[in-house]
Amino acid sequence: MGTMPALDDVSKAIIEQLQQDGRRPYARIGEAVGLSEAAVRQRVQRLIDSGVMQIVAVTDPMELGFARQAMIGLHVDGPLEPVADALAEMPEIEYVVITAGGFDILVEAVCESDQHLLEVLSEKIRTVPGVRSTETFVYLKLRKQTYSWGVR
């Protein structure tokens, strides 16, 4: 990932356009923000290269055959970053955040079955050095998932 200076109003407007519709044509975005299609394309590529944003399809994993999702809270002994980094390397883990409060780290797991979730918990997460305990919150139904919070 590269670095990018603070976002200007035009870059923020481009991001908001893509949050509304990630497939919106660059020419249409350009009309909305006052840039040429080529300039929008360059800005979008810089935003992606710098890690400010990604353009992805947002799905409901349960509709795609992943029958079990869970949020897992972890209590950790020692430094948190190495544990978070190890968890982030696991393909079943989609989300890792270091927190303040009742848990040291929260992760979201997407698994094919209850058995698969059990294997991830027992054979992967709980074997990471520093993991003291876990608490699992199994998802029963996804009611809302959005990434359109805008920019500040």
Give the structural domain span for 109.
61-138
Q: What are the residues facing 92 on neighbouring strands?
A: none
The pLDDT tens digits for 79-90 are 999 999 999 999
Q: How many domains does the chain have?
A: 2
28 and 93 belong to one structural domain: no
Q: Based on the domain organization, do 80 and 116 belong to the same domain?
A: yes
Bridge partners, 4 (sequence order): none
Q: Is residue 129 in a domain?
A: yes
69 in the same domain as 44: no
Average pLDDT for the chain? 88
CATH number of the domain that 21 lies in?
1.10.10.10
Beta-carbon contacts of 126 under 8 Å, excluding residues fewer than 6 positions away, are 134
Which CATH number belongs to the domain containing residue 95 in this structure? 3.30.70.920
Same domain, 74 and 130: yes
pLDDT at site 112: 87
Tell me what the mean pLDDT of segment 26-32 comes to: 94
Model confidence at 150: pLDDT above 90: no
Averaged pLDDT for residues 11-38: 91
Same domain (yes/no): 88, 107: yes
Q: pLDDT, tens digit, for every residue of 127-145?
A: 999 999 999 999 888 787 7
pLDDT higher than threshold 70 for residue 61: no
Rounded Cα distance, 22 and 43, in Å: 15
Model confidence at 92: pLDDT above 90: yes
Domain assignment of residue 37, yes or no:
yes
State pTM to two decimals: 0.70
Among 50-54, 58-62, 91-95, the minimum mean pLDDT is found in: 58-62
Has residue 84 been placed in a domain?
yes
User: Do 121 and 69 have their domain in common?
Assistant: yes
Rounded (5°) CA angle 55-61-65: 130
Where is mean pLDDT largest: 17-31, 44-58, 124-138? Answer: 124-138
Q: Are residues 78 and 125 in the same domain?
A: yes
- Confidence category of residue 1, pLDDT binned at 50, 70, 90: very low
